Structure 1
């Protein structure tokens, strides 16, 4: 039988993957409602194994025999965005759009799964169809805590995400922390209401919170080592209803990002201390509630090295520079096993989550190549021998 190239097999499966991508794009589903998306992808996967339903609308499907397996994550949810792409296969679900490329990731995963099946599944593959990447509660966290990954003996996890900030075709495969931890905070300041003409008879919660917001801008610059990256940002502020009334309650919310666990803990402490003490100085009381989100996403250095070698062998440009204070709940998998999240440059000229974001078929191929390189690199990690690039 003539020798067949793995990468050529992938290209063959990308024809059907492009059709799947358009189908998924036309029928986007919000976080927690991804049942149709899940079923469409499962229908496109090879094999006859029965999938395991997890995290309400998610599923995992094993391809191959027993033993340690390689997981590849595909996130399924769309966003509450009204599409303005103008393509015939635009979203048919009003106000919902695949504006983050998850439709591309899923279709690429299906193509990789069929390619792995074609080459005889040298190491079992676990397709992980994850709900709720865009919202809390995290779908990845639910899957990680479910126990199914232990039951399936999942030893490695691979992911890839489109990133328009990179040149088209470039894959960022970076060791260590590549995405930040992500937490949210709410500050509620309570004072004493009164007539705005007699401010000395009131305890102004709005003023106390306004000064708190300003003071929080110095938390990173004066409490965090300048060589470490972090963000404390206030994104909403509500207080009062009438122009002539000093409000008794003021509320603000915001985000906390850090690339190191110790920085994360420090920011939590400083936000509470600043809020409580500034409010106290104005005769008010502040209560701070911090909602803990995703941990830092740490790419395994050995796995990165092996995946990068696979990409380089295919003349795919590899970047080692991209780190961001964005967040992805893929980090819950990375906490439990060697994992790598890659970022793939896109031909699209708009940003993620924009109503005009529309990756191309070339982008689909680039994501699929990254995921296949991830599978082959992980195979090397688990078996100790380089993966064959060709098979009969």
Structure 2
């Protein structure tokens, strides 16, 4: 069975109607297995990951394998109410493929379908990954040794759709494509008291204000202007009523950086500022960091140079070199462990990623499949090279 353009669009629209949140992609996984089982099974082996029940691994056995090449796509959706008025809109209340993972899965199915009919020379490992938007599904899979034995991966590739690029354009860059992200929670414990007697209390909101001001100087005064880092505290919770001094205040924020070194530096400075304020305000400040698998997506230099050169020279592909983005992606964890490349697929949406009116153009699907199948065939014809991790 070779998937036609009409069939690919039908698949994408079905996936769009059944979006599911991280670690709960059961309908999605069942449907993907149904589609995969309709392919020729001559070269295919289908596997699973016990600790990730919705994940799917597919090995395409090569005719003369020199390496195992991995291709990853993500499956989960977002807690967003769709606002597009589509006939194939989400049927699951308050959940939407607002990040385009339905496009990602459809492109992956198209590539897999092609190689199920045209045996590759190398082994190909397809990873349909749950929980990219939260809970770090890529990290869970790697840490559970999913990419070992028959499903070992020597190099990994994956795409992310891009609302700003024209439909079907392939975008990429060497170095960092996506920033790494780290959640940061701050709990400030002072002493509550009457608003009329501040000298008998220790105001955690005042301490929080000082903490936020000092932390915002990290990027402006501790990091070179040519480097990229972001610290945002998007939530603050303290106090119970206007005339009671707050004994405890909680801050929730995010750190983003284009390198892991940058993220670790920002974390160190936040910890040092908290330590200093504990002494100056005679309070307790607890700092919690949670990075999970959201490392910077740092493309491998050798593999990515080859990928970019191929896309530039391929007459069937429109290529554009792109700037790094401060958004996060847990494919960064896999690229921290296994050399590889992530790239953009333009979908020319009027609405931004993660928005209720995100509406990718489906014409991008076939172009993404053609670009990646032709690249993989080119890659498999090259002699093996040792590839260092970044």
TM-score, normalised with respect to structure 1:
0.90
Alpha-carbon deviations, 1:333-373, whole Å to 9, x = none?
A: 21222211001222211100111112122122233234335
Q: Residue 56 of structure 1 aligns with which residue?
A: 53
Aligned 8 A contact 1:14 1:108 in 2: no
1:37-116 map, 5 Å: 37-45=28-36, 46-48=39-41, 49-54=44-49, 55-65=52-62, 67=65, 68-116=67-115
SS in 1 for 2:202: coil
Which residue in the other structure is 1:344 paired with?
Answer: 345
Q: 1:330 to 1:377 in 2, by over 3 A?
A: farther
Report the Cα offset of residue 279 of structure 1. 4.2
**Structure 1 residues 114 and 318: alpha-carbon distance in aligned structure 2, compared to 1, 3 A threshold:** same
SS of residue paired to 1:376: helix
Which of 24, 40, 48 does residue 33 from structure 1 map onto? 24
The aligned counterpart of 2:201 is 202
The alpha-carbon deviation at position 162 of structure 1 amounts to 0.6
CA 1:268/1:242 → structure 2, altered by over 3 Å: closer, same or farther? same
Q: Which residue of 2 aligns with 1:148?
A: 146
Within 2, Cα distance between the matches of 1:274 and 1:16? 56
Asked if the contact 1:306/1:381 (under 8 Å) is kept, the reply is no
Stretch moving more, 322-331 or 35-44: 35-44
Question: Please, what is the CA RMSD of the aligned residues?
Answer: 2.0
- Matched with 2:302 is 302
> Residue 129 of structure 1 aligns with which residue?
128
1:227 offset after TM fit, Å? 2.3
SS in 1 for 2:354: coil
Decide whether aligned partners of structure 1 residues 247 and 71 sit closer, same or farther in structure 2, where only a CA change above 3 A counts.
same
Distance 1:134 1:381 in 2: 35
- Offset at 1:159? 0.4
* Matched length: 374
* 348-357 or 140-149: bigger deviation: 140-149
Shift in Å, 1:203: 0.6
Deviation at 1:304, TM superposition (A): 1.8
Query: Secondary structure, in 3 states, of the residue corresponding to 2:237?
Result: strand
- Determine the C-alpha separation between the residues in 1 that align with 2:117 and 2:317: 23
Three-state SS of the structure 2 residue aligned to 1:184 is strand
Structure 1 residues 157, 374: CA separation in 2 closer, same or farther (over 3 Å shift)? farther
Shift of 1:301: 2.0
Q: Deviations over 1:252-294 (max 9, x none)?
A: 0111111122222211111111123234323322111111232
Q: Which residue of 1 aligns with 2:315?
A: 314
Task: Mark the CA change 1:214 to 1:382 in structure 2 (over 3 Å): closer, same or farther.
Answer: farther
Shift of 1:230: 0.8
1:171–1:317 contact (8 Å) kept in structure 2: yes
2:10 to 19, 34, 39: 19
- Moved >6 Å (runs of 4+): none
Q: Which structure 2 residue ranges, 5 or more long, are not aligned?
A: 386-390
